[in-house]
């Protein structure tokens, strides 16, 4: 895979040593898990508002709490899975049994999310409680899959740039396969029997379509997430380092300064970008298209595709920027590009020409792909710095805390998003006033800009430069040639 469009200084070689070069088959089969991860992580955000807020009339703040609470419970579950995976020894490896079991559970839980008992006269609180229970089961299964899957990606190679290339493969496969994600709402309308007149959509149409779409997505998730468990090989791990308690391991993890900087960047960017998800849906539906759900669904699909195409275009370029400027520099460039895309919505998100916003979404996708890519590849370098300090390989726990941070960020975004909608004056089952629509549009632009600015301020002090990582890996190599590897 090409590393980018930027010239490479002749004084440094970026080819991995043969022992750390990953074959194409390994990159692709590991990356298939990212396809399933993409659908698992984003289907809820695509369908929750059409199903629960619009069709069932559940207030957005209740939906936000029902979505966020299970992710807060992962504060206990994710580290347990990571710790358990790190210390598992089986004939199938440390990670693969968890990945396979998680893939099955995750696919089944996805189906359950879109089967609310809407015909039993349940109140809004009871429907929100159903969504809460379903999301608790879903995110428990997500932890069992995601934590070991990411740990597997961190340990497949030790090469600084090959790690970035592997993560880039994961993002490319996930993005190409995920081009259908923005169209899930539109698919639900079509499968549910809605016609081209988007103003004549019934709640039953949305619910029926969402059930079938959820079943299809569940099957896709099950198959894609199972591929890494069946096709990837793990490194053999032998260690005589005594086990320590989960609490002590967590403490050591959270004292790792580079890790904290990476988590801070990811948290602020995630909260900033995902808090206005419901705001964005309402702006599209009521501000741009005056309540026409079919037109709003079409634009949602095209905007999602524009963002994904921007992400795809960004994979080789962001990788090249990383080779040229290092991972910290690449993260700052990506944050800046994402901020430019968000700011441009001021001129592109208007009812007179709603499709101009596609250009903004392309820039946003390009920039944010760089942020997610740098977060993932920085985490692999963090594990090296931790091994030098502690003598342990703990990709599972680092992957767990990383996944936990993201889930907490999404939980905060979900709760904050519900209150942002209410703060703007939106009332369910009512057409918003013009003043409310103006506040929603302003919130949609300002909130991400604040999050990206905070993320840039935090990652500017990330201490693991390319030179420092090379020193760490040289020291680890000398240690491994001593008493033995790990």
- Which CATH number covers residue 450? 1.20.1250.20
What's the pLDDT at 11?
Answer: 36
Distance CA 29, CA 166 (A): 11
Q: Identify whether 18 is part of a domain.
A: no
With b for 16 or more beta-carbon neighbours within 10 A and e for fewer, the 178-207 pattern comes to bebbbbbbbbbbbbbebeeebeebeeebbb
Distance CA 184, CA 298 (A): 10
What are the tokens at 139?
Answer: 């995110």
What's the pLDDT at 3?
Answer: 32
Total number of domains in the chain: 1
Q: Identify whether 295 is part of a domain.
A: yes
**Residue 162's closest CA among 395, 333, 319, 332?**
319
Q: Identify whether 10 is part of a domain.
A: no
Domain with 35, as residue range(s), is 26-234+246-478
Q: Identify whether 5 is part of a domain.
A: no
Burial class (CB in 10 A: 0-12, 13-18, 19+), 145: buried
Q: pLDDT of the chain along its 486 residues, tens only?
A: 333 333 333 334 455 566 567 788 888 898 899 899 989 988 988 888 888 888 888 888 888 888 877 777 766 787 888 878 877 777 788 888 999 999 999 999 999 999 998 778 788 899 999 999 999 999 899 989 988 898 888 788 777 678 778 888 887 888 777 778 878 888 888 888 776 655 557 778 888 899 999 999 999 999 999 999 998 887 665 554 556 666 777 777 778 889 999 999 999 999 999 888 888 888 888 888 887 877 887 888 888 889 888 988 888 888 889 888 889 999 999 999 999 999 999 999 888 888 999 999 999 999 998 998 898 888 888 888 888 887 777 777 787 788 778 878 887 888 888 788 888 877 766 677 888 888 889 999 999 999 999 999 999 999 988 888 888 878 877 876 664 444
Q: Identify whether 13 is part of a domain.
A: no
Q: Identify whether 21 is part of a domain.
A: no
Q: Identify whether 262 is part of a domain.
A: yes
Q: Identify whether 425 is part of a domain.
A: yes
């Amino acid at each position: 895979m090409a590393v980018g469009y930027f010239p490479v200084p002749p004084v440094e070689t970026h080819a991995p040593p043969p022992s750390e070069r990953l074959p194409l088959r390994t990159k692709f089969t590991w990356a298939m898990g990212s396809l399933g991860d993409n659908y698992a992580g984003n289907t809820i955000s695509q369908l929750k508002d059409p199903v629960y807020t619009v069709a069932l009339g559940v207030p957005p703040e209740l939906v936000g709490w029902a979505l966020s609470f299970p992710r807060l419970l992962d504060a206990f579950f994710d580290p347990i899975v990571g710790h358990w995976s790190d210390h598992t020894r089986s004939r199938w490896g440390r990670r693969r049994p968890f990945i396979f079991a998680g893939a099955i559970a995750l696919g089944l839980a996805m189906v359950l999310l879109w089967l609310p008992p809407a015909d039993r006269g349940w109140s809004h609180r009871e429907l929100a409680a159903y969504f809460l229970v379903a999301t608790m089961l879903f995110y428990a299964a997500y932890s069992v899959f995601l934590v070991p899957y990411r740990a597997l990606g961190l340990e497949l190679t030790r090469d600084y740039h090959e790690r970035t290339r592997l993560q880039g493969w994961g993002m490319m496969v996930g993005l190409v396969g995920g081009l259908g994600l923005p169209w899930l709402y539109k698919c639900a309308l079509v499968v549910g029997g809605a016609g081209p007149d988007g103003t004549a959509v019934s709640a039953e149409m949305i619910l029926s379509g969402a059930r079938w779409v959820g079943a299809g997505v569940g099957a896709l998730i099950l198959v894609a997430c199972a591929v890494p468990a069946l096709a990837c090989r793990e490194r053999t791990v032998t260690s005589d380092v005594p086990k320590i308690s989960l609490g002590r391991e967590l403490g050591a993890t959270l004292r790792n300064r580079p890790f904290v900087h990476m988590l801070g960047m990811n948290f602020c960017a995630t909260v900033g970008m995902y808090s206005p998800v419901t705001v964005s849906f309402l702006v599209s539906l009521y501000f741009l298209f005056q309540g026409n759900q079919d037109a709003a669904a079409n634009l949602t699909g095209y905007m999602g595709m524009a963002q994904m195409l921007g992400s795809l275009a960004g994979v080789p370029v962001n990788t090249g920027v990383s080779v040229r400027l290092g991972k910290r520099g690449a993260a700052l460039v990506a944050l800046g590009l994402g901020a430019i895309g968000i700011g441009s919505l001021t001129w592109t998100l208007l009812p007179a020409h709603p499709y101009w916003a596609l250009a903004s979404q392309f820039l946003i996708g390009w920039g944010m792909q760089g942020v997610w890519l740098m977060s993932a590849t920085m985490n692999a370098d963090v594990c090296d710095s931790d091994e030098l300090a502690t003598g342990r390989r703990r990709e599972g726990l680092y992957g767990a805390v990383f996944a936990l941070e993201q889930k907490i960020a999404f939980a905060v975004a979900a709760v904050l998003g519900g209150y942002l909608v209410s703060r703007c004056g939106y009332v369910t089952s009512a057409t918003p006033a013009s003043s409310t629509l103006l506040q929603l549009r302003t919130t949609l632009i300002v909130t991400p800009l604040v999050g990206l600015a905070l993320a840039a301020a935090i990652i500017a002090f990330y201490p693991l430069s390319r030179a420092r990582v090379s020193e760490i890996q040289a020291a680890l190599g000398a240690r491994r040639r001593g008493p033995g590897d790990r």
